[in-house]
Structure 1
Amino acid sequence: MMRRFEHARILMYSHDTFGLGHLRRCRTIAHSLVEDYGGLNVLIISGATIAGAFDYRARVDFVKIPSVIKLRNGEYTSLERHIDLQETLKMRQSIIRHTAETFQPDIFIVDKEPLGLRGEVEETLSYLKTRGTTLVLGLREVMDAPHLLEAEWKKSDVMRKIGRFYDMIWAYGPPDFYDPLTGLDVPAQVSAKMKFVGFLQRSLSHDEMPGHRPEGDYILVTTGGGGDGAELIHNVIHAYQQDPELQHKALIVLGPYMPVKKRRKLIKKGGKIPQIKIIEFDSHMEELIAGAKAVVAMGGYNTYCEILSFDKPALIVPRVKPREEQLIRARRAAELGLVEMLLPEEADDAPRFAAALRALPDRPRPSQSNPDLRLAGLVNISEIVGGWLDQRTHPHLSVVDGAS
């Protein structure tokens, strides 16, 4: 029987400036929690321009804050160019604070950015701390190269503020895969709050299959949000052009953030190859990955979890700048035999890339390389949250703080 926590509330924050990773991760956790606990309501604050393109389960909703986009050089700008970035950030900060005051959450979960984009969540963290809300920071299992993360966090005194504000830090991976804070000077106060909950397993929704799923066997090519995915798609198409023996059907998903000019060019180029079908976006990527014979991807966190969840042979061509997160994840996964990795310059070599694509469907699945692999993140998060909500309902009980 489903446990009930009447009027329990969880607020989640997802800054969303480049790609879909943060929102998709928050949505996955939210859906899992409302499935496990009746009476629980989850509200996600998101800056994703297409937050409304996804479906949400009952008792999960979102508040859209004005969008800010990250440029390829790592700088930010307002999506609406006529609005000043500082004005946009002020609006975002005000909406976040007002939402927290109105919603009055029992738990506040912040995804990846400890203080929010440019510190926009700090004021809300301070407010919620005074009213006893449990504050959680959720970190990808790989954040970035240590020297880049350390430089970024030092500017705003982030590590000290993590220790001051947060009750727990969830690392969304197992401890033997990677530590998101590796190479950093982590105070004891912060390391004591770390919980490695595990990778977040994905499953198929109970809805009908999307119309985009092709008949028969196919390789899925995905770049996530697609903002910097054009090069990978170009290289896939080029490999098919150069190698007539490459006959696998390929479904290419460009991603909603791919620049329009690049999108049109790739659709035109790919349209000349009978084995290739190109679509712009699908909000049910889980179904497309589950149906694929194999996956070619840049290897963002969500795609990686889906590759593991549906046990698909995978070829990863990671982004290598400005962040090194995908590169670090792909190297570690390749080291463990879970995926095959090519660097972007290696994928530029059409014969080499074509050979890797030809062999891909027959390479070992992740479970064959690593049979002990477990994706327990959602189960562990549910246990932790259930313990906290129990404590609020029955304050005399001891707090259950879940899996480490």
Structure 2
Amino acid sequence: MKILIYCQHVLGIGHLFRILEIARAMKEHRVCLVLGGPPVSISLPRHVRVIQLPGLRMDADFSELSPVDPGRSLEQIKAERKAVLHNLARELKPDIIIIELFPFGRNGFSFELLPLLKDVRSGELPSARVVCSLRDILVEKKDQASFEQRVLDRLNSLFDALLVHGDPDVIGLDATFSRVGDITIPVVYTGYICEKSSCREGAALKEQIRLHPDEKLIVVSAGGGNVGYHLLDTALRASELLHFPVRMQIFTGPYLEADHFADLRQKITPGIRIERFTDNFPSWLAAADLSISMGGYNTSVNVLASGTPALIHPFAQNREQRLRAERFAAMAAIRLLPETDISPGVLADHISSMIERKKTIPAVRLDGAEKTNQLLTRWLATGVIP
């Protein structure tokens, strides 16, 4: 089976890493992964071929596109990206095209996606089954009614199935999209997608960093790093107020501003390490006594999978992260931090009260990547999506 996957990350890297897990799970198929955001260093298995489109990103308000390369014009890059996508679809002749998030998001990229999908539908490009890959919770819009109508118009006419990477027993799509009942194509919940790690890998990492039995390991992270500096800085200063031996590992995310990264580096004390990124994050969580993070999809699901107690400080600009964190906190050793900026003293108190909590892995579906592969494989073989 030949699969074409399109993913455009703009603010963080959660969308990208969710799609990477899906691509990795499709071991028996040929996967062409098309990426359109700022380049990210990733390692992939042999069955996955990566095509990097000329990079585009959104501004902080998600209103304007701009080239990653400032030396190129926006219109030039748009034309090149459209041509690359069309040529890929024509040459690869994919059996399935997976589009991450669109039409529920990435409306700024409709200039390249709508022509591609319309030409697949009309027969101008080789026929393929088209799937939308969607996370569990949407960011709601100011004009939600017109947003939902636009989504339905595109989804029902240009797509063949919607895969929601969540568990309806935890939260359904209807919590943030009221017109689920008007979707006319199959809607299938795959379970959550995450890269898993074992207790054995966590124990091996503790040995590797020579963690003393009396020390507590706290892992602090901020996803992609575009937001979250204040949480990282507060955690660093809170570590000085704790009354027990602690080792703190901070992952800032690859996109944290250079001056913020330098500022954090200047404040570290013995027992604290700061890195931008790790490709072994699940093992760090498996080893940790406590996680401190924002409430993005990937980190939150990794916390669930590890069972590690966690303090979550959701992104305050919309309710997506808070809604997820509230549902997860009802099932696991997770506590939400106040929405307002927190002080080092307040955070230190929360750390002290959570650090002895036991690891608890809830009964939640966490095999979303494997389930996605099984669903699509069966669909192509039988013509029916379960």
Counterpart secondary structure, 1:136? strand
Task: Tell me how far 1:54 sits from its aligned partner.
Answer: 1.2
Counterpart secondary structure, 1:345? coil
Query: 1:68: which partner in 2?
Result: 56
Structure 1 residues 193-229: Cα deviation after superposition (integer angstroms, max 9, x where no partner): 2111111242349x9x899963325211111110112
CA distance in 2, matches of 1:279, 1:390: 45
Structure 1 residues 333-355: Cα deviation after superposition (integer angstroms, max 9, x where no partner): 22344521113425x22222111
CA distance in 2, matches of 1:291, 1:240: 18
Q: 1:261 aligns with which of 259, 262, 277?
A: 259
Query: 2:280: which partner in 1?
Result: 284
> Is 2:348 the counterpart of 1:325?
no
Once the two structures are overlaid, the 10-residue window that deviates more, 96-105 or 75-84, is: 75-84
CA distance in 2, matches of 1:113, 1:344: 29
Query: 1:3: which partner in 2?
Result: none
CA distance in 2, matches of 1:12, 1:28: 12
CA distance in 2, matches of 1:231, 1:325: 19
**CA distance change for structure 1 residues 78 and 234 in 2, over 3 Å: closer, same or farther?**
same
Counterpart secondary structure, 1:288? helix
Q: Percent identity?
A: 22
Counterpart secondary structure, 2:152? helix
Query: 1:193: which partner in 2?
Result: 186
Q: 1:14 aligns with which of 7, 12, 19?
A: 7
CA distance in 1, matches of 2:358, 2:74: 47
Q: Where does the alignment leave 5 or more consecutive residues of structure 2 unmatched? A: none
Structure 1 residues 151-190: Cα deviation after superposition (integer angstroms, max 9, x where no partner): 6836x92221101111110111111222234354426451
Q: 1:28 aligns with which of 8, 21, 27?
A: 21
Query: 2:385: which partner in 1?
Result: 401
CA distance in 2, matches of 1:149, 1:224: 28
Counterpart secondary structure, 2:46? coil
Task: Tell me how far 1:266 sits from its aligned partner.
Answer: 1.2
| CA root-mean-square deviation | 2.8
Counterpart secondary structure, 2:170? coil
Q: Does the 8 Å CA contact 1:106/1:133 hold for their aligned counterparts?
A: yes
Counterpart secondary structure, 2:173? coil
Query: 2:348: which partner in 1?
Result: 354
CA distance in 1, matches of 2:80, 2:186: 31
**CA distance change for structure 1 residues 50 and 214 in 2, over 3 Å: closer, same or farther?**
farther
> Is 2:120 the counterpart of 1:128?
yes
Task: Tell me how far 1:149 sits from its aligned partner.
Answer: 7.7
Once the two structures are overlaid, the 10-residue window that deviates more, 157-166 or 175-184, is: 175-184
CA distance in 2, matches of 1:152, 1:80: 33
CA distance in 2, matches of 1:248, 1:238: 13
Q: How does 1:77-96 map to 2 (within 5 A)?
A: 77-96=66-85
> Is 2:30 the counterpart of 1:41?
yes
Instruction: Report the TM-score when normalising by structure 1.
Output: 0.84
Counterpart secondary structure, 2:5? strand
CA distance in 2, matches of 1:305, 1:229: 18
Q: Does the 8 Å CA contact 1:240/1:246 hold for their aligned counterparts?
A: no
CA distance in 2, matches of 1:148, 1:343: 24
1:166 maps to amino acid: F
Query: 1:396: which partner in 2?
Result: none
Query: 2:155: which partner in 1?
Result: 162
**CA distance change for structure 1 residues 349 and 151 in 2, over 3 Å: closer, same or farther?**
farther
Once the two structures are overlaid, the 10-residue window that deviates more, 253-262 or 113-122, is: 113-122
Counterpart secondary structure, 2:226? coil
Task: Tell me how far 1:299 sits from its aligned partner.
Answer: 2.0
Query: 1:335: which partner in 2?
Result: 330
Once the two structures are overlaid, the 10-residue window that deviates more, 164-173 or 67-76, is: 67-76
How many residues are treated as equivalent by the alignment? Answer: 373
> Is 2:379 the counterpart of 1:385?
no
Query: 1:173: which partner in 2?
Result: 166
Task: Tell me how far 1:314 sits from its aligned partner.
Answer: 1.3
CA distance in 1, matches of 2:197, 2:83: 36
Q: 1:314 aligns with which of 306, 310, 316?
A: 310
CA distance in 2, matches of 1:262, 1:64: 28
Task: Tell me how far 1:379 sits from its aligned partner.
Answer: 3.6
Once the two structures are overlaid, the 10-residue window that deviates more, 337-346 or 106-115, is: 337-346
CA distance in 1, matches of 2:177, 2:169: 17
**CA distance change for structure 1 residues 25 and 236 in 2, over 3 Å: closer, same or farther?**
same
Q: Does the 8 Å CA contact 1:17/1:67 hold for their aligned counterparts?
A: no
Counterpart secondary structure, 2:219? strand
**CA distance change for structure 1 residues 118 and 153 in 2, over 3 Å: closer, same or farther?**
farther
CA distance in 2, matches of 1:247, 1:124: 56
Counterpart secondary structure, 2:26? helix
Structure 1 residues 132-158: Cα deviation after superposition (integer angstroms, max 9, x where no partner): 31111011101113x44826836x922
